[in-house]
Structure 1
Amino acid sequence: MPAPMKTGRRSVLVTSATLLSLSVTAPAALAAPTPSTSPTATPPAHMSQVGGARLGQPGTQVNLAGGVPALPKDLTARSWIVSDAESGDILAAHNAHWKLPPASTLKMLFADTVLPRFPKTTAHKVVPADLAGIGAGSSMVGIKENETYTVHDLWLGVFLRSGNDAVHVLSSMNGGVDQTVRDMQAHAEELQALDTHVISPDGYDAKGQVSSAYDLTLFARSGLQKKDFREYCSTVRAKFPGGSAKTGKKGTSAREPFEIQNTNRLLSGDSDVPVYQGIAGVKNGNTTNAGATFTGVAERGGKVLLVTVMNPEKHEHNEVYKETAKLLDWGFRAAGKASPVGELVPPKSAAQPGTSASGGDAHRSGGSGSKPVAGSTAGGGSRGMGTALAVVGGLLVLLAGGAFLVNRRWPLPDLMRRRPRP
């Protein structure tokens, strides 16, 4: 049975939901798409400057003066970013805007786009067309044709098992894969995630499908405004409906549920990776072109950090989680000491009037003028954030500049099913 978790010190982070059991080991992530042309081995000399000029420069960007701890050694990821999830300050980054294959971390954008559109109690009977076009070797949760699933079931399949079958069923409900791709691309542009080009909603390797550590962090930050998103991405294990089977009584059948476990190792733990203290999601991925990718959110001492890691060159078991844990540890030590090297920009509809959607002066300078404001959160999984953010954007015209500077944070309401110290 679910159990309420510990309440944090910060009032905006009140507990609202529960986690299932924490003591299991998740199965390995599944994905083995057909190889295709991979990106270059070195980052471009010039990349996007959305969020700050330094983020467009190749290599590591960090301010180590004033007692800031040194970055962890042995970081091999092609790209990574450490940011404050609430203020949007980027504490350190490495090739933040390098466009790389995202693998299943792209499902964060899929969820942030589609999740608000269907109540979780909605039931859907799967037809063969719903499962058409799933890539060979995809990770699957085990959806069966001619069986009925609730939207709640399907989202558990997306988040826990990274099920491409669940993504395709939800995409079919949303008007089809092509429509969902268009919706995702439009939402990415609204979030100012301009490095992202969507080809497949499930993140399966496709020519031209790319994102960046910066954009994946934007997707996570936006998704975490939604209660249902937070619930699904922080669930360790759940029961999933099985296929129908005859019971022996004439004309009747029963569906025996089976257990699914989250493939996020920092959430569920593994033999060489302990559960990370304060972890609360978000999403992992692994494909031939992308390698291992991961975005995680964690809270300690009233600080909430987002870390994205893309494609470690070191191919040890669970390396993406090990490097993420190192960066989270560094971020919690550096928080309040390290001057930011950039920022996570708000959605277009929440940006302060006069800022540029593509990285204007306020974005390049890392100034506070382009940061989100308090109150710009959505009302849970059943509501999108667009309306609330549009209202906030309109209200900013009426607010004094000083008030905006005081209330520029983007709180994460009732965020955490926090982890006790092991």
Structure 2
Amino acid sequence: MSTVGGELLGRPGTQVNLGGGAPVLPKDLTARSWIVADAESGDILAAHNAHWRLPPASTLKMLFADTVLPKFPRSETHKVLPSDLAGMGAGSSLVGIKEGESYTVHDLWLGVFLRSGNDAVHVLSAMNHGVGQTVRDMQAHAEELQALDTHVVSPDGYDEPGQVSSAYDLTLFARSGLQKKDFREYCSTVRTSFPGETTKKKGKTTRGSFEIQNTNRLLAGDFDVTPYRGIAGVKNGNTTNAGATFTGVAERNGRVLLVTVMNPEKKEHNEVYRETARLFDWGFGAAGKVRPVGELVAPKGAGTGGQAGGTGTSEGKGTGGGTGKAVAAPVKGGGSSGIGVALAVSGGVLLLLAAGVFLVNRRWPLPDLVRRRTRP
């Protein structure tokens, strides 16, 4: 395996350096690969086969979003052509885009993040000069981020021969994407309305809408999973070859952690979220009590005076200050209501939506990430 981020990360199996008072790792982890990292410092607290190359499923959409999101203002409208939806894999997850209908870029990204819609990915790829160009752009961006385990074949993460990534690389994608205001909004949205079909009746044209909910069960919950306290995204995936995959970001007591889990062997319903939650719990308990086993490296261009992340932000493309209907996960049992995103940045001025700014790390800032106290 690769040693990007540290020599220990190139070793097979679990890597952790427990210090005094540190909790032991959960004993019921079955994922083939996982990683727990501090989102701000980049320290990797523990990892298991961090650079093992595995099918990523729809977690690869984080790289797609980090690559393509800055290219189009959220207010831009696109009328869907039949060719835009060509080439999607059988059984693809869909948000329900219809040929001949028009959608804003904002609508399309909500479809990507909430419903993991491959149809939304293909429409945005068509706007970006096609799937082939988008794949090339994603591969180039992965290399810029030093995500060298990743080979992109399809922008939506659908199973394709040779398409692989790693827990390490997926964590890099999430960390880079979270530098972008719009990325943070979309990945933290629990539910919203999505445009439906246009109908004509008695000479009157109307267009309805329908509700979509985020398929990230640590954010939206499920009958057997409650929303994780402090969760704010990022992206889940599930395909035949990849199994279940997930990268999440959560905050507790001023510390922001990233956890990636790939393909638990235990095939219980929502197992990927249970193992992620256990790793979050361990990470928050172990922070400051373990010696890092590696680090999340910065992009190649991060030291050249450019913006952290190496790709700019969607704000720079005239996306405006609209907030859509993003909401943070509710909290049960008291305590912090978790984190959301700063959705009201205008003219470079940070508008705090609630109780204060997170720590800003000088090595790797997570700009204007704030707590919000809202409920879906």
- Fold-level match, TM-score > 0.5? yes
Deviation at 1:119, TM superposition (A): 0.1
Aligned equivalents of 1:228 and 1:222: distance in 2? 12
Query: In the superposition, relative to structure 1, how do residues 416 and 281 fare at CA in structure 2: closer, same or farther (>3 Å)?
Result: farther
* Structure 1 letter corresponding to 2:118: N
In the alignment, what sits opposite 1:238?
A: 192
In the alignment, what sits opposite 2:27?
A: 73
Aligned equivalents of 2:112 and 2:361: distance in 1? 35
Deviations 1:177-203 (A, max 9, x none): 000000000000000000000000000
Q: Are 1:91 and 1:335, in contact at CA under 8 Å, matched by a contact in 2?
A: yes
Q: Which of 143, 150, 158 is equivalent to 1:196?
A: 150
State percent identity of aligned pairs: 79
* Structure 1 letter corresponding to 2:207: R
Q: Does 1:121 align with 2:75?
A: yes
Query: In the superposition, relative to structure 1, how do residues 139 and 243 fare at CA in structure 2: closer, same or farther (>3 Å)?
Result: same
Q: Does 1:137 align with 2:91?
A: yes
Q: Does 1:327 align with 2:279?
A: yes
* Structure 1 letter corresponding to 2:232: A
Deviation at 1:320, TM superposition (A): 0.2
Q: Are 1:181 and 1:199, in contact at CA under 8 Å, matched by a contact in 2?
A: yes
Q: Are 1:124 and 1:150, in contact at CA under 8 Å, matched by a contact in 2?
A: yes
Q: Does 1:106 align with 2:38?
A: no
Q: Does 1:283 align with 2:235?
A: yes
3-state SS of paired residue (1:143): coil
Deviations 1:343-400 (A, max 9, x none): 0000000148xxxxxxxxxxxxxxxxxxxx997367642338xxxxxxxxxxxxxxxx
Q: Are 1:244 and 1:256, in contact at CA under 8 Å, matched by a contact in 2?
A: yes
Aligned equivalents of 2:368 and 2:262: distance in 1? 28
Q: Are 2:70 and 2:312, in contact at CA under 8 Å, matched by a contact in 1?
A: no
3-state SS of paired residue (1:299): strand
Q: Are 2:41 and 2:361, in contact at CA under 8 Å, matched by a contact in 1?
A: no
In the alignment, what sits opposite 1:184?
A: 138
When normalised by structure 1's length, the TM-score is: 0.76
| Structure 1: gaps (5+ residues) | 1-46, 353-372, 385-405
Aligned equivalents of 2:248 and 2:162: distance in 1? 25
In the alignment, what sits opposite 1:298?
A: 250
Aligned equivalents of 1:115 and 1:350: distance in 2? 19
Aligned equivalents of 1:349 and 1:304: distance in 2? 24
- Tell me how many residue pairs correspond in the alignment: 332
Aligned equivalents of 2:247 and 2:279: distance in 1? 11
Q: How does 1:29-44 map to 2 (within 5 A)?
A: none
Q: How does 1:235-384 map to 2 (within 5 A)?
A: 235-248=189-202, 250=203, 252-351=204-303, 376=308, 380-383=313-316
3-state SS of paired residue (1:225): coil
| Structure 2: gaps (5+ residues) | 318-359
Aligned equivalents of 2:157 and 2:370: distance in 1? 26
Aligned equivalents of 2:269 and 2:361: distance in 1? 43
Aligned equivalents of 1:415 and 1:258: distance in 2? 29
Deviation at 1:247, TM superposition (A): 2.9
Query: In the superposition, relative to structure 1, how do residues 416 and 268 fare at CA in structure 2: closer, same or farther (>3 Å)?
Result: farther
Aligned equivalents of 1:118 and 1:144: distance in 2? 20
Deviation at 1:420, TM superposition (A): 8.1
Query: In the superposition, relative to structure 1, how do residues 201 and 383 fare at CA in structure 2: closer, same or farther (>3 Å)?
Result: same
3-state SS of paired residue (1:189): helix
Q: Tell me the C-alpha RMSD between the 2 structures.
A: 1.9
Q: Are 2:188 and 2:234, in contact at CA under 8 Å, matched by a contact in 1?
A: yes
Deviation at 1:414, TM superposition (A): 2.2
3-state SS of paired residue (1:54): helix
Deviations 1:134-186 (A, max 9, x none): 10000000000000000000000000000000000000000000000000000
Aligned equivalents of 1:343 and 1:299: distance in 2? 19
Q: Does 1:90 align with 2:22?
A: no
Aligned equivalents of 1:206 and 1:137: distance in 2? 14
Deviation at 1:416, TM superposition (A): 4.5
State which structure, 1 or 2, has the greater radius of gyration over its C-alpha atoms. 1
Q: Are 1:297 and 1:306, in contact at CA under 8 Å, matched by a contact in 2?
A: yes
* Structure 2 letter corresponding to 1:327: L
Aligned equivalents of 2:115 and 2:281: distance in 1? 27
In the alignment, what sits opposite 2:169?
A: 215
Q: Does 1:156 align with 2:110?
A: yes
Query: In the superposition, relative to structure 1, how do residues 50 and 379 fare at CA in structure 2: closer, same or farther (>3 Å)?
Result: closer
Aligned equivalents of 2:147 and 2:92: distance in 1? 26
